[in-house]
Amino acid sequence: MDYVNFGSVGLKVSQLALGLGFRGQKSKDEAQRVVEHAIDRGINLIDCANVYGMMDSRENSGSSEIVLGKALKGKRDEVVITSKVCSKIGPEPNDNGLSRYHILREVERSLKRLETDHLDVYLVHGFDASTPLEETMQALDDLVHSGKVRYIGCCNFAAWQVCRALWISDIKSLTPFMCIQNRYNLIHRKLEDEMFGLVREQGLGVMAFSPLAVGLLSGTYVPGQPPPAGSHWGRSDRSLDELFQGASGEAVTTLIDLAKEIGKTPAQLALAWVLSQPEVTVAITGGDTTQHLDDNLGALDIELDDTVREKLDTVSEAFVKNPVDI
């Protein structure tokens, strides 16, 4: 496993992170085994959130943090962990958002579930237009100075929102964001439009989530064929035929064909393409089983041939301006 600097800070992380938005595990024990296997294989970055739960159910918010806390027993100092705050976790008016009240309350709950005294990276999970950004950045800065948080970042922000947050941190001498976390994959390349220029200029790390487009780029789903029974998209109300219309179907077919040509799986090639972008620090894999995780780790052995890279770039070019929204 190779480790890289997280953006421009000195923190070293694995290029693949394990994301704990669990879907396929049947029990907490099974989920814990996946986390432990990831750590054993050298993954040292685990991405979590206060809203994540087994089967990604809001009724089970926080259960992913509990699973992670148990898996970290005796290994806490070996692993970089994230958690997040903003998403709705209950019915009360202050059960979401980025107010000082909500942030300071939720960090304590996350630390308790994780059975740790600090978070390595605390991420705001989205932009909260109802709270002044100055209030949010001051609360996060206080957490850093208290020792409960080491670094801060943001998820799902637009480039102008990241830029404004950095400006506030600069003029008020507050801790700045050191990374962003946004969706990025072959059929969702929106980050290239504005964000990549900003992160290059500001030295921010990029955590790419959904690098396999919720499995659409894993090779499990083939344009023109029904989804396997019992699979995620087999259970979904959305039609695969609709999702694979036009350019997206062509991109997936090209990915599958190229992976076969080079003797790799489509998932490995899709991940390798994401990681080949110089702006991307980490791709977050959400493997439901140890087998899925091991397959994804094979992406780290791929050095993309210029011809393969060009074919993938070309077939997915439309998704810079018109990403597939899933």
In order, the DSSP letters of 249-284 are HHHHHHHHHHHHHHT--HHHHHHHHHHTSTT--EEE
**Cα 249 from Cα 239, distance rounded (Å):** 13
Q: For position 53, what pLDDT does the model report?
A: 82
pLDDT confidence of 25, banded at 50, 70, 90? Answer: low
In terms of residues, how long is the chain?
326
What are the contacts of 256-264 at 24+ separation with CB within 8 A?
Answer: 256/219, 256/222, 258/308, 258/311, 258/312, 259/219, 261/308, 262/302, 262/305, 262/308, 264/298, 264/302
Beta bridge partners of 46: 18, 81
Closest CA to 18 of 230, 293, 274: 293
**Residues designated as active site:** 52
- 53, 59 in Cβ contact below 8 A? yes
Q: For position 171, what pLDDT does the model report?
A: 98
Mean pLDDT of the chain: 94
- 35, 68 in Cβ contact below 8 A? yes
Task: Give the residue-averaged pLDDT of 159-178.
Answer: 98
Task: Give the residue-averaged pLDDT of 172-180.
Answer: 98
pLDDT digits (tens, 9 = 90+) for 197-222: 999 999 999 999 999 999 999 999 99
Q: Would you kindly state where each structural domain of the chain is located, as residue ranges?
A: 3-183
At 151 the three-state DSSP class reads: strand
pLDDT confidence of 24, banded at 50, 70, 90? Answer: low
- 154, 181 in Cβ contact below 8 A? yes
Q: For position 29, what pLDDT does the model report?
A: 86
**Cα 170 from Cα 164, distance rounded (Å):** 10
pLDDT confidence of 59, banded at 50, 70, 90? Answer: low
**Cα 231 from Cα 106, distance rounded (Å):** 33
Strands 3-5 and 12-14: antiparallel
On the question of pLDDT at 58 being above 80, the answer is: no
pLDDT digits (tens, 9 = 90+) for 235-246: 888 889 889 999
Task: Give the residue-averaged pLDDT of 292-316.
Answer: 95
Q: For position 97, what pLDDT does the model report?
A: 98
pLDDT digits (tens, 9 = 90+) for 285-297: 987 789 989 999 9
Task: Give the residue-averaged pLDDT of 114-129.
Answer: 98
Architecture of domain 3-183: Alpha-Beta Barrel (3.20)
**Cα 43 from Cα 220, distance rounded (Å):** 24
